[in-house]
Structures are given as C-alpha cells and as structure tokens.
A and B are shown apart, each in its own frame.
Chain A
Amino acid sequence: MADHIIAPRDLDWHPKPLAPDYRSSLLRSPNHTRLHYDPTVTEMTGPTFGHGMLGPDDDDLIVNYAQAGEAAIGPRIIVHGKLLDEDGRPVSGKLIEVWQANAGGRYRHKKDGYAAPLDPNFGGCGRCISGEDGSYSFRTIQPGPYPWPNGGNDWRPAHIHFSVFGDGFAQRLITQMYFEGDPHIALCPIVQCIPSDTAIDRLVARLDMDNTVPMDIRAYRFDIVLRGRGATIFENQMEGT
C-alpha cells in the first residue's frame, strides 16, 4: 500500500477520551485504545452535498429563524475563514454546519433550562458549503457564555459548534470555535481537555477588522483544518491493510 491517502491522526493533539474534569466523559470514554488500520476505500470516500440543498438564509443565523422583518438579538458578527487540509490546500465543496446558544447563553433545546430567555427570532443553527478556495462565511450573533452542570461553578466560554465534512469520511470532525480574549477559555474543563495551549489556540477566532463592516457588523476569522489528503490514489489500496 502506498502512503496513507488520508494522513494519520495525531491522537496526542486531540483531547483524550477520559478527561476526569469533564464529568460526562467518565462513563462515555472507551477504556481500550483505538485500534489502527490504514484507511480503505470506505474511509477515503464520503458523502457530498450540493449547493442545491441550501436555502438562501441557511448561512444567516440572524434571520433564518426570525419572523419576516425581524432579527435575532445580540452583537452582530460575521464568522468566516477557510476550510483547509494539513497541507494547507483548500477543501472545497464541503458541508459545514454550526449551532450555538443565543446572546443570553440559552439554546433552543428542550433540555436547556437556563434562566436566560429564548429569543423568539433566533433558532441557533446554520450551514453552508465551502467555496473553491475553501472559504466559508456565516452571519450570526455572538453567543453568550452559559453555566453547565459539571459538579462545580462551570461556565462555557462563548462558543460556536462546528460540524465539518471532508473528502473522506475519516476526515469527519466536530469541534468548537471560541472568541479571542474570553477569560473562560482558560477555566473551561471541556476546552482544557485539549492537551496543549498551541492546539487550543487553533480554536480561538480572531477579531478581523479588515472584514468588519463599518456601522454594521464585526467579523471574526476562524480557519478549520482537516486531516491531510495524499496526492495520489493507488490501485492496490487494500493490499497490506
């Protein structure tokens, strides 16, 4: 078999399955280590989603759940960046889905009972498909921090959840985006599951004044990187698996 068509994953870079300070991981983390095999055609292929499935406001959380003529409450922001692979190449035509709490830190979910009120004009989800150059963009409101039951006085930093597809299903990734300067980043047991500050920093979006629209909406820049893709597909992929 040739070099991996999808680059190996550095499991030491990601959070470990068991993170005792994140209580939910205690009963949900496998005890065995993950067993390795080289990606086969199953892992090197994946679903594709066309622009045709997108509605006109799918990428605009400010209005996509709002009554006609109304808008979600909160600081207006653009979240944008590029979907890249580990070789720095754009990953184009891939589905990116986001979800988040409203400006008060409340999710539109039956299980969220936080005291902050729902915003009738905010649903909290959006989606788009990356462009030719890997670029993507959403309009939304800045989510609020929120408390969560973890046994102590735990508050999530303001964050936006991201779900991302790649060319191969092995590149599938769910992660979270944080905001530059948020003091809760250093305090959050979920963020701090990530072993290194360098890795955590990759999830921190930067205020982007160049793309901020005067008197309208601020921009934050957040690039997402998926596992690298080899340049060549060999015919004997399965040999040596």
Chain B
Amino acid sequence: MMADFKESPSQTAGPYVHIGCVPTFAGLQGMYGGNDLGAKMITGDPNGSRITLTCHVIDGDGVPLKDAMVEIWQAGPDGTYGPTEGFSHWGRQPTDAHSGELVFETLKPGATAGQAPHLLAWITARGINLGLTTRIYFADEDNSSDPVLAVAGDRQATLIAQGGDGSYRHDIYLQGAQETVFFDV
C-alpha cells in the first residue's frame, strides 16, 4: 500500500449532515425532486415479510441523539444482496429532531452464507469522529451459530433487536453499561 493512497481520514458528519444526505428532511424543499435517498427501502411489491425496526441512538447520559443519521445494508429475504425488484437493501434514516426515534420499514433478511439474518448498521452524528459500524440481529431467529455474534462474546445481547411479528425495537448505546458492540471490519 502506498502512503499517498492511504484511506482519507474520517471527520465527523457534524450537526448538519441532514443538508447533504436527507435535504428534504432538513427543509430544503424540492431538492433532488423532494426524495431523500434511502427513505423508502420497499419501492415495489417484493416477496418477503415486511418488518418495522424502531431505533434510538443513546448517548452516555442516556439521552437519545436528535441529530444522528443511521444507514443499514442488508440481504433480502433470500439471503442475497440482490438486486431485488422493488427493494433497495439499503436504507438511511435521520433520528427525529424531537424524539430521537428512527424507523426502518424493510424486509426481514434471510440467513446469509453461514450467518444468521442480520442488518449492517452505520451510525454518524456530531461528536462521532469515525462512523460506527454495528450489526442488528433478531431475537426470534436462531442466532446460536453466527460467527460475528461469537466475536461479540458476552456482549452479544447488545446486537439483538427485540420483538417479533414484524415489529422490532433496537436501541444503540454509545456508552455505559449497555454499550453496543461496534466493529472494526
């Protein structure tokens, strides 16, 4: 690897990431046709079970971030990364400016090549110097032999969304006793 071609160092997304990534959410009316990229993951009528995943990103004082942005990347119901007609595999949501809540409406991923069904999640916000990578698994799946959960050891519960019947909740803790496992991958 040549030093001149080392990865560009990361910098925080800052408090105004919305302007660049979700401009309609930020109030820039009409920008990009009024469609924020990643806002809708299900754009047609794909096979698979529809799920709602509700998240917060919580700081060291236990307060949900109001200015974060989370992206997910996932397999489709068949466990592949597509492309899948009517489904984007990728979503992007800002946390609500008042509640800090964000919601992904997506499809339940299938198991992938020896891995339990999971989403890859990436969290950016003011105060986060390098985007945080984590995974989200599902409490109603068999996660017992997943190799990445094994890496998380006794902290693997921080990676598992709770719920079922198409509705899941998952909070991401940046610090504290329940700190979520973040990965260098």
Contact = CB atoms under 8 A, between A and B. Distances in A.
A101 B96 CA distance: 22
Interface in B47-63: 59-61, 63
A64 B78 CA distance: 40
Contact of A45 (B11, B32, B33, B81): B81
B175 A31 contact: yes
B89 interface: yes
Q: Which of B12, B32, B37 has the most CB of A within 10 A?
A: B12
Contact of A15 (B11, B18, B89, B175): B11
Contacts of A53: 37
A163 B7 contact: no
A161 B113 contact: no
Nearest to B158: A32
B26 A174 contact: no
B129 A22 contact: yes
B59 A27 contact: yes
B7 A226 contact: yes
Nearest to B89: A47
Q: Which of B31, B97, B115, B181 has the most CB of A within 10 A?
A: B31
Contact of B8 (A16, A47, A65, A225): A225
Interface residues of B, number: 76
A233 to B, nearest CB: 13
B181 A173 contact: no
B182 A32 contact: yes
B45 interface: no
Interface of A: 7-11, 13-17, 19, 22, 24-43, 45-47, 49, 53, 55, 58, 64-65, 84-88, 95, 97-99, 107-112, 123-125, 127, 161, 163, 169-170, 172-176, 190-191, 193-194, 198-200, 202-203, 224-228, 237-238, 241
Interface of B: 1-21, 23, 26-28, 31-33, 37, 59-61, 63, 65, 67, 71, 73-75, 81, 88-90, 97, 112-115, 118, 120, 122, 124-133, 135, 147-148, 151-152, 155, 174-175, 179-185
